[in-house]
Structure 1
């Protein structure tokens, strides 16, 4: 994650980093009740790398 250059990642990558199942993240997006919210790009979910870092408590590490 430290070397990640993208601003947003897909659901599979975000779920791996957060230690959650992909369906959990999809549920957060659907019900808008999760700790982070994705954006939609052409119908796909894109999760902010900065938001994931903040959630994990590693925002200062780049």
Structure 2
């Protein structure tokens, strides 16, 4: 099966979700082309996975 790119926010740790959403919104509203953010994802087994997301828009 394929993936649902819109589903990833549901896996972001609840303590990080507002910060990630705010960061993405400000990035999309800006002229910045590069991004870098650290957050945690919740693994299906229940533990946290640290993530460093970097890229270009």
Tell me the TM-score normalized by structure 1. 0.30
Tell me the TM-score normalized by structure 2. 0.31
Larger Rg: 2
